[in-house]
Amino acid sequence: MKVAIDGPAGSGKSTVAKQIAKQRNLSYLDTGAMYRSVALTCLEQGIDLANTQAVIAQAQAIDIRFEQGDTGQRVFVNDKEVTSQIRTAQVDQNVSTVAAIPQVREAMVALQRKAGEKIDVVAEGRDIGTVVFPHAEVKVFLTADASARAHRRAVEREGGNAAQQDVATDVAEEQRILEDIVRRDNIDSTRETSPLVPAKDAVHIDSSHLSVDEVCAQIEKLMDEAAAKKASELQAGAVMDDTTTVTEQQPVAAKDSWESYYETKVQDFPLHARILLKVLVVLCNAYTKIKYRWTIENLKTLLVASADRGVVVIMNHVSFLDPFLPACAMILAGRSLRPIYKDDFNRFGILHWVLPRLGAIPVARGTADVKALRRAQRALQKGESILIFPEGTRIRRPDQVPQIHGGFALMAKMAKTDIVPMAIVGALDITPYGKHYPRPKKVYCRVGEPLSFNDIKAKGRKEQVVEMERIATQKMYELRDQLMAEHPGRK
């Protein structure tokens, strides 16, 4: 989700955006800090801001990086920390001139889009909802009286907490800040390129007499409404944004570490995660092969189907062993297979640490988890395959009726790819119902033919997804029944 918060200086954008990003575990993008970084670099290098070409050259060459520090976001320009230097009165007085240059804006907007491209982000600035992320799900235009804004800035300058009301400040200094704010508002809202104007679909919030928590609550309500709307649209198969572009760029904004594992290709994971995955796969493969002598029939079909694109692999689910077998086989053959797991596991610290590093993607069961769908879609579009258990949970007792979760068909449809059905038999005999210790029993898997949406006869998009869900599930159970018939008594 993209949340765009625009508004004039001192309206409380930064405080509110940071708080929401923290509460909702999203990245935070401070676009004002980027214009400030350009202004600072020019001032430090003695560049006359009237020399537009020189300023543009700086903006086009600048390397800005954000890092999450203990006390807030830190800003680096060409690897040198400038967190406090970009907030001086001198930068305040000059930044609007820099931000009014169209080519500077172009360069910054390109960086900002790159930063927010693959991630959920709360971005604040002046043109986020109108230019940077015009398709943001939530757009807010935050305002406040000029005097309230000047007071907040004055409190901040004196090292106080602007969120607290009734803090005394130096009256002359506050007056000077007020004049500067009015002057900057004027430049920002009358400049030719991307002036400070609310997006047509932005929700206006006046923060003059609201606390930070009250503003955040209003915005979070908008976020919940947007997420619910999107979920219901997706569930109905009505809206599918096939235009989502996927690039390999790393975000500039500080990123949540889990988020980066879900969004980055497994082969681009940090070295420690790649080593962890390889070691676990090799050990797990050797151990399970010796203990359960498992085989995957027609594995070649799966390897061919996933050779130059990602596919959605579906499998019945009876035991803890199930995800390991296709994952070992695929990964050792040079493919990437990302299992979808229920996010309940993330409650266990060690699993929350390990599973993302193995490429697994969490899903909230019982809801239309749009986030998980999108993550899977993006992985598929990058050529990685997804392993999903449509039964949602292990089916361990004969009287347990599987409830099929159809998300897998929607996922394949969104990523325009095939579904490969697969079945496993014998794994339930390893730990039969009521038993805990694994016993050495042979396990059999079989891969079916890939199923393509091109072969689905149904007309509408929603009908195609429903039909694919039905056919793919049927194929998966056919494979399972074949294996059961060939290995009587095995489950």
**Binding segment toward ligand DC, per CB under 6 A, in 120-128, 160-168, 306-314, 411-419:** 120-128
Q: How far does the chain reach from its first CA to its final CA, in angstroms?
A: 42
**Minimum distance from CB of 279 to ligand DC (Å)?**
45
**Minimum distance from CB of 230 to ligand DC (Å)?**
25
Asked if 21 touches ligand DC (CB under 6 A), the answer is no
- List the structure tokens of 9: 């200086």
Q: Smallest Cα–Cα separation from 339: which of 257, 280, 425?
A: 280
SS3 call for 139 = strand
Residue whose CB is less far from ligand DC, 104 or 476: 104
Binding to ligand DC by CB under 6 A, coded x per residue (else -) over 240-269, reads ------------------------------
Residue whose CB is less far from ligand DC, 90 or 474: 90
Asked if 391 touches ligand DC (CB under 6 A), the answer is no
**Minimum distance from CB of 181 to ligand DC (Å)?**
9
CA atoms within 13 A on the CB side of 434: 2
Asked if 36 touches ligand DC (CB under 6 A), the answer is yes
Among 127, 369, 384, 429, binds ligand DC (CB under 6 A): 127
Among 125, 339, 392, 407, binds ligand DC (CB under 6 A): 125
Asked if 491 and 441 touch (Cβ cutoff 8 Å), the reply is no
Q: How far is CA 172 from the centre of its chain?
A: 46
Asked if 25 and 159 touch (Cβ cutoff 8 Å), the reply is no
How many Cβ atoms from other residues are within 10 Å of residue 91's Cβ? 20
Asked if 150 touches ligand DC (CB under 6 A), the answer is no
Q: Smallest Cα–Cα separation from 129: which of 46, 207, 198?
A: 198
**Minimum distance from CB of 260 to ligand DC (Å)?**
24
Residue whose CB is less far from ligand DC, 99 or 305: 99
**Binding segment toward ligand DC, per CB under 6 A, in 32-40, 294-302, 406-414, 474-482:** 32-40
DSSP codes, 11-31: SSHHHHHHHHHHHHT-EEEEH
Distance set, CA 393 to CA 316, 348, 367, 401 (Å): 9, 18, 15, 11
**Binding segment toward ligand DC, per CB under 6 A, in 27-35, 49-57, 133-141, 173-181:** 27-35
Among 27, 31, 94, 417, binds ligand DC (CB under 6 A): 31
Backbone angles phi, psi at 424, to 5 degrees: -130, 135
Asked if 9 touches ligand DC (CB under 6 A), the answer is yes
Binding to ligand DC by CB under 6 A, coded x per residue (else -) over 77-116, reads ------------------xx--x-----------------
Rounded Cα–Cα distance for residues 337 and 379 (Å): 10
Rounded Cα–Cα distance for residues 300 and 246 (Å): 28
**Minimum distance from CB of 448 to ligand DC (Å)?**
51
**Binding segment toward ligand DC, per CB under 6 A, in 59-67, 76-84, 121-129, 445-453:** 121-129
Which residues pair with residue 99 across a beta bridge? none
Residues in the chain: 491
Distance set, CA 27 to CA 19, 30, 106, 199, 338 (Å): 11, 10, 22, 22, 23
Residue whose CB is less far from ligand DC, 125 or 407: 125
**Minimum distance from CB of 10 to ligand DC (Å)?**
8
Asked if 134 touches ligand DC (CB under 6 A), the answer is no
**Minimum distance from CB of 60 to ligand DC (Å)?**
17
> SS3 breakdown of the chain: % helix, strand, coil, rounded to 5?
50, 15, 35
Among 126, 357, 374, 413, binds ligand DC (CB under 6 A): 126
Binding to ligand DC by CB under 6 A, coded x per residue (else -) over 198-237, reads ----------------------------------------
Q: Smallest Cα–Cα separation from 473: which of 411, 426, 421?
A: 421
Binding to ligand DC by CB under 6 A, coded x per residue (else -) over 38-77, reads ----------------------------------------
Residues in the interface with ligand DC (CB under 6 A) total: 13
Binding to ligand DC by CB under 6 A, coded x per residue (else -) over 170-189, reads --------------x---x-
DSSP codes, 405-465: -THHHHHHHHTT--EEEEEEESGGGTS-TT--S------EEEE---B-GGG---SSHHHHH
Positions touching ligand DC (CB under 6 A) are 9, 31-32, 35-36, 95-96, 99, 125-127, 184, 188
